[in-house]
Amino acid sequence: MSMIPVAETRGVGMVFEGVHALRDVSVSIRPGHITAICGANGSGKSTLLKCLAGLETPTSGVVTLAGRPLVELSRRDIARQLAVLSQNPETPAGLNVEELVEQGRYPHRPWLGRLTARDRGAIEAAIQRVDLGAMRERQIATLSGGERQRAWVAMALAQEPKLLFLDEPTSFLDIRHQAELLTLLRRLNRREGLTIVAVLHDLNQVMDLADDVVLMRKGEVLSIGTPAETLTPALLSEAFGCKVDVVPHPRDGRPFCLVDWIDDNRDVR
Assess whether pLDDT exceeds 90 at residue 254: no
Say what percent of the chain tops pLDDT 70: 95
Nearest to 231 by CA among 206, 252, 197, 201: 206
**What pLDDT, on the 0 to 100 scale, is given for residue 2?**
55
Residues 215 and 233: beta-carbon distance below 8 Å: no
Q: Which CATH number applies to 1-81+161-239?
A: 3.40.50.300
Better pLDDT: 38 or 87: 38
With bands split at pLDDT 50, 70 and 90, how would you rate the model's confidence at 4?
A: confident
The pLDDT assigned to 269 comes to 46
Q: What is the DSSP string of 107-141?
A: GGS-TTPPP-HHHHHHHHHHHHHTT-GGGTTSBGG
3-state SS, residue 263: coil
pTM exceeds 0.85: yes
- pLDDT of 268 reads 44
Overall average pLDDT of the 236-243 stretch? 94
Per the DSSP assignment, residues forming a β-bridge with 29 are 7
Question: Which residue in 218, 208, 262 sits closest to 40, CA to CA?
Answer: 218
Return the domain boundaries, the chain: 1-81+161-239, 95-160
With CA atoms as reference, report the closest residue to 212 among 131, 121, 200, 220.
200
For the stretch 172-229, pLDDT in tens is 899 999 999 999 999 999 999 999 999 999 999 999 999 999 999 999 999 999 999 9
